[in-house]
Structures are given as C-alpha cells and as structure tokens.
Amino acid sequence: MYKVSKFGGSSLSSVQEWKKVKAIVEADDDRHIIVVSAIGKALPTDNKVTDLLYLVYQHHKYHVAYDSLFREVKEKYLSIKRELGLNVDIESDFDEIQERLENDRISEEELVSRGEYFSARLMADYLGFDFVDSKELINFDYNGQVVEEETLDCIERAVSVHDYMVVPGFYGSYPNYKICLFSRGGSDVTGAYLAKGAKADLYENFTDVSGFYMADPRIILHPRHISQISYDELRELSYMGAGVLHEETILPLIDEDIPILVLNTNHPEEEGTWVKKEVTSRQHLITGISGKKGFLALTFLKKRSVSKLSIILQVLNLFNAYHLQVEHIPTSIDTFSIVVEKNAMEEKYYDLIADLKRIPGILAITEDEDLAMIAIVGGNMVHHAGASGEILSVFGRHKVNVKLIDQGLEEYQMLIGVSNADFEKSIHALYDRFAHEKLAPTAS
C-alpha cells in the first residue's frame, strides 16, 4: 500500500500538533509522502501564517512597517524548531527572504509560499524524511494552470529516488521557475497531484474534523456524519461552501479512482469520510446540504424579435472579459438571469453594467442583490421520483420564498436561491426533514 498524507494548517498549529502528526506518520510505514500546509490557527484569535505573509507583502508595498508581522511568522517556526530540538537551518532562509523583500526582489507569490516551505523543511527534519521542493514537482503554465503531464513525470521521478519525503503544499513553479500559487486552501490539490503522480492507493487528508458532515456544524449542532461520498457529490458540496477540502482536490484523482480519506489529526481513530468515484451503499436520500450567502442576480429582458442565444453569448462574453465567474443562468423565453458572487463584482460593477446596457436588443436589466444559494446534494435522488417535490415542499411549509431553482439532468444536486435572511432557516428545515430518513440501500 502506498499512501500520500496531507496535514492542514490547524494540524501544525502547535508543538503538540506536530507530535500528533509524527505519531500518525510513524504508525504506518505506508505513509510515503507527507504534504504540509503553512502553520494555521491554534486558537480562533490566532493569525494564519499565509494571511500574515500576504499582509507583510502589502505593508512593504505601501511602505508601512512590516517588521512585527514578519517577526510573528518567524517566531512561529523558530519556536517549533526549538521545542522539537531540530537542527535544520531556517534562520538564514528567513534572513535571505527579508533581504530580498527589502530590495523588491521577491514576488508576492514566492513570499506567501514560504509558509508551506518552512513547514516542510522542519517536518522533513522532524520525521527524518527527505525534503523535496514542490517547485521541482508542480509545473504551472503562465495562466496558472497545472501542466499535468510534466507534473506527473516530475513526481514519478522524485518517487523513484526518495522512498519517504515531505513536500510543501500550495505552490509550484511557472515555466520560468518562479513560484506560482494554487488558490487558497490549495495544499489539498498539491496532495492530489502527488497521489496521482506516485500512483498511490490512498490519499489521506488530515484536518481538524473527522471528515464531512451533512450540514455546516456552525449552523446545525452535531450534524450527521458522512461516512462515504462520491467525487461528484463532494465537488458540489465543496463548491457551495463545505470548507473541508478544496473543490479542485478530486480533479487529478477521478481518472485513476484514487480514494481520499479525510481524517482528524486529533482523533485519527475516528471513522472519517471516504471520498470515492462510486458509493455502493447510500442509506439516505440526501447526502449533504451546503450553501453560501452573498450572490447577486442580474435579470435581462430582451426584445422579442432578437435571438436569445445571441444576446446570452454577448452577455457572457462581457462577463468573461471582466474575469467574472458566472454561477448560474436560469432562462425563460424573453428573460434570463446571470447569478454571480457579489464580492467578485464589487469594483467592476458600474463599468460592467454600462457595457451590458450597450448590447443592442436588451430592453431592461434588473437586479436582485439579496440572494443566498443552497445546494442539496444526494446521489440517491436520481433513483427516487418525487425527490425534488419533497425538497421544494420543505421551503413551502416553512414559508420561505424560493427565488431560483436549478437542477441538472444528473439529478445528484438541486440548487435553490433564497433571500439571505432565509438562509439558516432553510438549512435547518432541510436538515430536520432529511437527516434521519433512511432508504433501502441502492447502488449508485
């Protein structure tokens, strides 16, 4: 058995956590590749190293003193080094980084990546594993997309040389060898590429919870635990806000069908959640419920005589030109809506609206900026006629106005748009209705 095991920032947030990581790794010889994040929060009031490094860069850029922030980062790593009695020389790396920052010779991406780099240097020393820099393994193109074939080749070569290694998550390199970052939380994705490149049997993802729960524990107290979930279900839940794994984690793993097991560093004996291509025994109609507030819908009324397709294409081209991710496009005969995350729109809003109004054939644009989206996900829905009706009736019974409905033909998820104020109430109502309903087991 060959395992890749990734430990998130909270699993590295104190010296006790580092000891737990070592005990977990040493308990199983199959754990060949260890991927680490930057040091995270031990307490809710703590600062994550990655956030601090972004701040250091911005302070320096705007000529504001950054020394205390830099010192805070440095001290986090040096105290781990001291308390674990490690020897690896990270002090000179810190000096070099500071010197390059002073002389504007380090990019923001490189500076921010140093959190993962220092975690990996120390962890390699602590475990007695080889340190292998992800700069040598994960190859990006100039658009920040992973060049998969090259990346897998590099990983394969590293695996043939290093039996046991520690690799920093979250970054790789552009073709010019400068550092490129994944999006936030991207160490999960690094681990997934390593699992694929190493042809691993299992990708373990250690975090501070025992896997996935049917709903957000910040909204539902002690929600039902999910023991198995399919790649597709997970991707929907993660995309709509279930924060345990980065939504792109599964992409490298789908073809090879490498399972992910999400486990808790503080309770490695607990069950965790298996993420697989096929889930064989789903007991519930609904696997999970997630969602996010803060969406905005622009609704376009077009002239009857103008082709809907041509107008939608022009509108989408503009969204693309403004680098705005379109979430949903519900349509009717003469109207269609575009749903986007409000935050992403902020600075671009007025320019975009002005450009949209210039498209010939659009009669009016109205907007609804009070939209929360809820994803109800369940691979069993496709086997049960009436599932959508059941879901919608929950909203009706609780007098929640449904603004938008979106269900794909695969039928493993339904998206419902409601007012932000109805968000928590809807999650509670859905959870109460579906959490404990059991179905006769069906294969997916």
Does residue 50 bind ligand ASP (CB under 6 A)? yes
Q: Which stretch binds ligand ASP (CB under 6 A): 75-83, 178-186, 263-271, 323-331?
A: 178-186
133-137's contacts with Cβ under 8 Å and 24+ in sequence apart are 133/167, 133/168, 134/167, 134/168, 134/169, 134/170, 134/171, 134/172, 134/190, 135/171, 135/172, 135/173, 135/177, 135/179, 136/173, 137/167, 137/172, 137/193, 137/194, 137/197
**Smallest gap from residue 49 Cβ to ligand ASP (A):** 7
Which 96-115 positions form the footprint of ligand ASP (CB under 6 A)? 115
**Amino acid at the residue 88:** V
295, 300, 297: which is closest to 313 by C-alpha?
Answer: 300
Does residue 205 bind ligand ASP (CB under 6 A)? no
Does residue 184 bind ligand ASP (CB under 6 A)? yes
Q: Residues touching ligand ASP: how many (CB under 6 A)?
A: 12
**Distance between CA atoms of residues 80 and 11, nearest Å:** 13
Q: What are phi and psi of 133, to 5 degrees?
A: -80, 130
Among 5, 13, 187, 290, which residue interacts with ligand ASP (rule: CB under 6 A)?
A: 187
Among 31, 32, 48, 135, which residue interacts with ligand ASP (rule: CB under 6 A)?
A: 48
**Distance between CA atoms of residues 241 and 247, nearest Å:** 9
Q: What are the CA-CA distances from residue 152 to residues 50, 117, 162 (Å)?
A: 26, 20, 15
Does residue 185 bind ligand ASP (CB under 6 A)? yes
- Nearer to ligand ASP by Cβ, of 249 and 413: the residue is 249
- Nearer to ligand ASP by Cβ, of 5 and 187: the residue is 187
**Smallest gap from residue 146 Cβ to ligand ASP (A):** 15
Considering just the CA atoms, what is the radius of gyration of the chain in Å?
24
Q: Which stretch binds ligand ASP (CB under 6 A): 132-140, 181-189, 258-266, 357-365?
A: 181-189
- Edge-first strand order for the sheet with 31-36 is 130-131, 165-168, 31-36, 3-7, 202-207, 260-264, 273-276, 228-230
Binding mask 209-248 for ligand ASP (x = CB under 6 A): ----------------------------------------
Q: Which stretch binds ligand ASP (CB under 6 A): 160-168, 182-190, 227-235, 376-384?
A: 182-190
Q: What are the CA-CA distances from residue 148 to residues 3, 142, 418, 428 (Å)?
A: 20, 14, 39, 41
- What's 334's DSSP letter? S
Among 34, 125, 127, 186, which residue interacts with ligand ASP (rule: CB under 6 A)?
A: 186
**Smallest gap from residue 186 Cβ to ligand ASP (A):** 5
Chain position carrying tokens 């080749």: 153
Does residue 168 bind ligand ASP (CB under 6 A)? no
Q: Which residues here bind ligand ASP, judged by CB under 6 A? A: 9, 37-38, 48, 50, 115, 169-170, 184-187
